[in-house]
Amino acid sequence: MDNIANKKILLIISGGISAYKSLEIIRLLKKHGATVKCILTKSAKEFVTPLSVTSLSQEKVYDDLFSHESESKMDHISLSRWCDLILVAPATANTISKLSTGSSNDLASTVILASNKSIFLAPAMNVRMWEHPSTKENLQKLKNFGYQVIGPEIGDMACGEYGEGKMTEPLNTINYLNEYFQNIKKNKKFKALVTAGPTHEYIDPVRYISNKSSGKQGYEIAKSLNKNGFQTTLISGPTNLDKILGVNLISVNSAEEMFNATLENLPADVAIFSAAVADYKVKNKEKEKIKKGENIDLSLEKNIDILSHISNHNSLRPKIVIGFAAETNNLDKNSKIKLSEKNCDWIIANDVSDSSIGFNSDFNEVSIFYNNMKKEKLPKMEKSLLADKIVKKVISQLN
Ligand code: CTP
């Protein structure tokens, strides 16, 4: 637990029966050398008293957004700047719902909205509430912003039912935070660059050529790099995905813009080229909207291959260069050709002919081809999990 020592933790306790476990979280954090300040929501005070919290934390307890004393010191800003991270434990269904809409009608939600720090949620609720599609959707939204979720666990609940929704045990929560601080310490010196999404190659001001890429896999990789402590830049073509807190997002349209943004953001220790860059651009892009007439011929010219350019560059090449291969046939053969022609350390290949994986899906099934000619086939899994696996491999290679 060495990594907890001297850290500043802001613990937000929301109103659920598991709030009693939050007292143990405070005790353990203090035992391992952290400073802990706590915010209690209005309903949390029905479950634990400010007196217990202040006695254990040895700090003032914060609870009211509109007190003269607190607001003269701008608590909602100063608390979010003071801490190294924010832990919401328990995070009730109501708190998760409020946070997912950006609500800020009390100190807890305002501090989170104003925060520039990593946010961890330890959900706790009845199994039916946990399984409700609205809770799932709200939590997914928060995950997309880069919030990290600890648990919940499966077991007997205070309400007498059994299932998933129990707040993770305090010791496991502390272990999770300890590992987070350890990763930050180990990886904060590393710079990562990720390209994601499709590119739009304009024909005229309103029409373009593009492809089906959603950008999801690249965004998940950027999210995972960020939570593992990397200084992460994400160069993204047009997508519908949320901005990830803590990641430097550069939005581009065309392959040419993506190439320029990539050059501007090197050097990096690792570059992961997950974008589905359009291979061609329109040769003579019209300045005005083309009027409907007879058939037209579009003349296309090749775009620069960003991955190839960088990985074959003497001075710009990052230590680890990872490319993707989207294939509908001859996956092994084509991936191996890309691995060698594009001078990559690994190629992550997926079969995009199956619509349950790859483009637009939340799932992916890939094979990784390494430059030592080894191949690793991974089972179908969520893109977020695959991202974590890829980042874990990157970390072990860099260290
Ligand atoms: N790539 C790139 N710049 C391009 C084209 C591709 O950086 N102009 C990168 C992609 O980000 C990916 C890898 O090259 O990491 C392979 O992309 P893919 O579309 O599978 O292959 P292509 O090289 O475009 O070849 P083809 O379309 O013929 O399969």
213-233 pLDDT tens trace: 999 999 999 999 999 999 999
Mean pLDDT of 285-294: 91
Secondary structure class of 218 (helix, strand, coil): helix
Distance 251 CA to ligand 1 centre (A): 19
Q: DSSP letters along 265-314, please?
A: T---SEEEE--B--SEEETT--SSPPPP-S-----EEEPP-HHHHHHT-T
Judge whether residue 72 has pLDDT over 70: no
Q: Which CATH class is domain 2-186?
A: alpha beta
When pLDDT is cut at 50, 70 and 90, the band that residue 158 belongs to is confident
Mean pLDDT of 366-395: 95
Average pLDDT of the chain to the nearest whole number: 94
Q: How do residues 14-26 score in pLDDT, each as one tens digit?
A: 999 999 999 999 9
Distance 307 CA to ligand 1 centre (A): 7
Distance 351 CA to ligand 1 centre (A): 14
Whole-angstrom distance, CA of residue 85 vs CA of residue 279:
42
Task: Say if 2-186 and 188-398 have the same CATH topology.
Answer: yes
CB of 62 within 6 A of ligand 1: the answer is: no
Contact 40, 13 (CB under 8 A): yes
CB of 23 within 6 A of ligand 1: the answer is: no
Judge whether residue 64 has pLDDT over 80: no
Q: Is 159 a catalytic residue?
A: yes
Mean pLDDT of 243-267: 97
Instruction: Please count the other Cβ atoms lying within 10 Å of the Cβ belonging to residue 281.
Output: 21
Read off the tokens for 222: 């950027």
When pLDDT is cut at 50, 70 and 90, the band that residue 333 belongs to is very high
pLDDT for the residue numbered 124: 97
H or E stretch at 337: helix 331-341
When pLDDT is cut at 50, 70 and 90, the band that residue 65 belongs to is low
Judge whether residue 356 has pLDDT over 80: no
Judge whether residue 73 has pLDDT over 80: no
CATH number of 188-398: 3.40.50.10300
Q: How do residues 39-57 score in pLDDT, each as one tens digit?
A: 999 999 999 999 999 999 9
Give, for ligand 1, the residue of 274, 317, 338 to mutate: max count of ligand atoms closer than 8 Å to Cβ.
338
CB of 325 within 6 A of ligand 1: the answer is: yes
CB of 28 within 6 A of ligand 1: the answer is: no
pLDDT for the residue numbered 75: 81
Q: Which ligand 1 atom is the nearest neighbour of the CA of 303?
A: 8
In this structure, the residue with its CA closest to atom 18 of ligand 1 is: 325
CB of 279 within 6 A of ligand 1: the answer is: yes
Residue with the bigger pLDDT between 350 and 135: it is 135
Domain coordinates of the chain in residue numbers? 2-186, 188-398
Judge whether residue 200 has pLDDT over 90: yes
| Alpha carbon separation from 194 to 221, 225, 241, 384 (Å, rounded) | 8, 10, 15, 15
CB of 273 within 6 A of ligand 1: the answer is: yes
pLDDT for the residue numbered 352: 81
pLDDT for the residue numbered 70: 66
